[in-house]
């Protein structure tokens, strides 16, 4: 019989994720946590960005005990089992696991010498760092492999890309600051029109990976985080909601 010490409860997952996301940095209303409570042990958890029509069937097919939803607001609780626990983190997930000051992404991009670029309410929203020298085409290929595609590209003037900015916003001021601090390429979720003039004047390269692609990457990363913490937790991820 499995020892009770090996059981996982939703409160433990929340405690771990609160620490991982450093939720104390966020306003109380934005910290996330338990959306629907359960007292049952969690052996199987599903991850998805938001509810979709076939969610109840997916939960049943995967025999889930708990569910993580990035955007839970359209969840119809009457269509899922009352035994199912639901966890939700919105802003903390966005800032820690998508485009921004994302340490796991920095490792994948092989960034070093990280510096903060941009702040919102005293939280970093972007990072600057060096990468192994490569041409712009190689960096674009790497980004495509990481995120599964890209939305828009503006080629870098510099032949060799040495320093990049990864930022969860795109403003005139942020683009100019990235350029002033030596970035060859600005990586973000979506191109923003107010930054176009700054891009032309600084001649910085830019890659927009797409907001949803960055969220899907975040789900994949979260799956790894949970499985690194609990060897006996089965994690199922739904990408196409």
Lowest mean pLDDT: which of 13-27, 86-100, 147-161?
A: 147-161
pLDDT (tens digit per residue) in 2-56? 456 689 999 999 999 999 999 999 999 999 999 999 999 999 999 999 999 999 9
pLDDT (tens digit per residue) in 157-181? 888 999 999 999 999 999 999 999 9
Q: Are strands 33-36 and 85-88 parallel, antiparallel or unpaired?
A: antiparallel
Q: What is the DSSP string of 94-137?
A: HHHHSSSS-HHHHHHTT-EEEEE--EETTEE-EEEEEEEEEEHH
> What pTM does this model have?
0.93
**Cα(162)–Cα(182) distance, integer angstroms:** 9
> What CATH number does the domain located at 98-210 have?
3.40.1390.30
Residue ranges of the binding site: 94, 211, 215
Confidence of residue 154 (pLDDT cuts 50, 70, 90): very high
Per-residue pLDDT at 193: 87
**Cα(88)–Cα(70) distance, integer angstroms:** 6
Query: 90, 105 in Cβ contact below 8 A?
Result: no
Q: Domain 4-93: state its class.
A: alpha beta
Residue ranges of the binding site for a divalent metal cation: 94, 211, 215
**Cα(80)–Cα(175) distance, integer angstroms:** 45
Tell me the average pLDDT across 131-150: 96
**Domain residue spans of the chain:** 4-93, 98-210
Tell me the angle at which helices 10-21 and 211-229 cross, rounded to the nearest 10 degrees: 120
């Amino acid at each position: 019989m499995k020892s009770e010490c090996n059981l996982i409860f939703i409160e433990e997952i929340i405690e771990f994720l609160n620490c991982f996301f450093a939720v104390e940095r966020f306003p109380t209303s934005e910290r996330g946590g338990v959306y629907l409570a359960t007292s049952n042990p969690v052996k199987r958890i599903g991850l998805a960005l938001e509810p979709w029509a076939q969610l109840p069937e997916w939960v049943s097919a995967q025999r889930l005990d708990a569910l993580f939803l990035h955007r839970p607001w359209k969840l119809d609780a009457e269509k899922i089992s009352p035994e199912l626990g639901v966890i939700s983190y919105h802003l903390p997930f966005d800032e820690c696991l998508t485009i921004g000051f994302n340490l796991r992404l920095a490792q994948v991009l092989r960034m070093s010498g990280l510096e903060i670029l941009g702040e919102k309410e005293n939280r970093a929203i972007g990072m600057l760092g060096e990468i192994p020298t490569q041409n712009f085409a190689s960096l674009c290929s790497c980004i495509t492999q990481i995120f599964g595609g890209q939305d828009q590209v503006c080629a870098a003037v510099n032949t060799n890309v040495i320093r990049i900015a990864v930022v969860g916003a795109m403003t005139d001021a942020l683009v100019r600051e990235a350029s002033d601090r030596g970035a060859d390429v600005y990586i973000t979720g979506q191109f923003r029109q107010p930054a176009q003039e700054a891009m032309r004047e600084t001649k910085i390269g830019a890659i927009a990976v797409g907001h949803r692609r960055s969220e899907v990457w975040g789900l994949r990363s979260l799956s790894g985080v949970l499985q690194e913490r609990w060897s006996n937790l089965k994690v199922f991820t739904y990408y196409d909601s």
